[in-house]
Homo-oligomer: A and B are copies of this chain.
Amino acid sequence: MTADRNAGKSMDSVFPHLITQKDLPVLVSTSDADFSDVDAVFCCLPHGTTQEIIKGLPKGLKIVDLSADFRLRNVSEYEEWYGQPHRAPDLQEEAVYGLTEILREEIKNAHLVANPGCYPTSIQLPLVPLIKANLIEHKNIIVDAKSGVSGAGRGAKVANLYTELTEGIMSYGVTRHRHVPEIEQGLSDAAHSKVTISFTPHLMPMTRGMQSTIYVEMASGVTTDNLYQQLKVSYQDEEFVRLLEKGAVPRTHDVRGSNYCYINVFPDRIPGRAIIISVIDNLVKGASGQALQNLNLMMGFPENTGLGYLPLFP
Contacts and interface: CB of A to CB of B under 8 A. Distances in A.
Interface in A14-30: 15-21
A71 interface: no
Q: Which of A15, A150, A175 has the most CB of B within 10 A?
A: A175
A267 interface: yes
Given A168-B252, A312-B312, A154 B160 contact: no
Q: Which of A150, A155, A156, A166 has the most CB of B within 10 A?
A: A166
Contacts of A174: 249, 266, 275, 277
Interface residues of A, number: 81
Contacts of A163: 149-150, 154, 160, 207, 314
Nearest to A150: B163
A268 B198 CA distance: 6
Contacts of A270: 139-140, 142, 196-198
B16 A254 contact: yes
A200 interface: yes
Copy total for this chain: 4
Contact of A269 (B21, B167, B196): B196
A126 interface: no
B17 A167 contact: no
B242 A20 contact: yes
Interface in A147-172: 148-150, 154-158, 160-172
The 8 closest A-B pairs by CB, nearest first: A168-B253, A17-B311, A144-B144, A163-B314, A17-B254, A17-B313, A170-B251, A167-B206
Given A160-B163, A167-B207, A172-B249, 17 more contacts: A16-B254, A17-B258, A19-B242, A20-B242, A150-B314, A154-B161, A156-B161, A162-B162, A162-B207, A167-B209, A169-B211, A171-B249, A174-B277, A196-B270, A198-B273, A205-B205, A309-B309
